[in-house]
Amino acid sequence: MLKAKDIMNFITDCDVPPRLIDISRNTDMNKGTVLKILRTLELCGYVRCQGQEKRYCLGTIFLKYAQTSLSNFDISEVAEPFMAKLRDETGETVNLGILENNMALLLQKLESPSSIQLISSIGKGLRLYTSAMGKAILSTFSDDELASYIEQTTLEKVAPNTITDRNSLLEDIKLTKERGYALEDRENQPDVVCVGFALVKNDKLFGALSISAPKYRVEQKDLEMFIQFGMVAQKNIINAL
């Protein structure tokens, strides 16, 4: 099984489907052993041999496995222990969301232990341009995707500092991409600040993480602490995906 796994990993990592000799050289197995394993993998549908050069690629059965895995995948379950640690470290509310219909859909929310709670609920959609979570998601968009989003979106003012100018939003998203996190200062709710972090692995966007707090409770040193701990949580969640 381990040898078969090594072979499939090598095939996956190759830009061009490898030949038998390529697999043998790069897995430290002799050609006879590799050929025997490949034939078994072919029978199972795990690899395909194609062309006159007999190059090997993964079988289409992995598409079925991937679809099943994604349909059963729950990012909330993966992220929750890291979110709980982040809430305890910061003392503030930690949120998890995904991109859905050009909104940041709130999947999970771990409340601050303080007496003041923020107005948000699981299942609620947040505007991408007003929220730290949403702007973190926008920072993963290609230039064309971002331009399309802005073209289709009315930048309505919903809080004192909501960004309603397209060029200002583009500058904000550019800065978010450069520094690796998004900031929200009374843009989605009055008197609320947030820091957001995109969750991207292998060029796939899984969602975004954010820390929310009342404005009066957040000084510059607190914001820097949110960013520091948030980036650690972001890295840990991505590694666990």
> pLDDT tens digits for 53-104?
899 998 888 877 766 665 556 888 899 999 999 999 999 999 999 998 899 9
Give the C-alpha distances (Å, rounded to integers) separating 215 from 58, 91, 100, 194.
52, 14, 28, 9
- For residue 144, the Cα-to-chain-centroid distance in whole angstroms is 19
Residues 24 and 136 in one domain: no
Can you give the residue range of the structural domain that contains 22? 2-67
CA distance 178 to 35: 47
Residues 105 and 214 in one domain: yes
Q: Cβ(47)–Cβ(41) under 8 Å?
A: yes
Which of 67, 85, 111 marks a domain boundary? 67
Overall number of domains in the chain: 2
Radius of gyration, CA atoms only, the chain: 23
CA distance 182 to 163: 13
CA distance 9 to 6: 5
pLDDT, mean of residues 38-51: 91
Average pLDDT, the chain: 91
CATH for 235 = 3.30.450.40
pTM of the model: 0.71
Higher pLDDT, 12 or 210: 210
Q: Regarding beta strands 47-50 and 182-185, do their DSSP bridges make them parallel or antiparallel, or are they unpaired?
A: unpaired
Identify the pLDDT of residue 68: 65
Higher pLDDT, 240 or 114: 240
CATH for 41 = 1.10.10.10
Find the angle CA(128)-CA(131)-CA(137) to the nearest 5 degrees: 50
Identify the pLDDT of residue 74: 81
Percent of the chain with pLDDT over 90: 76
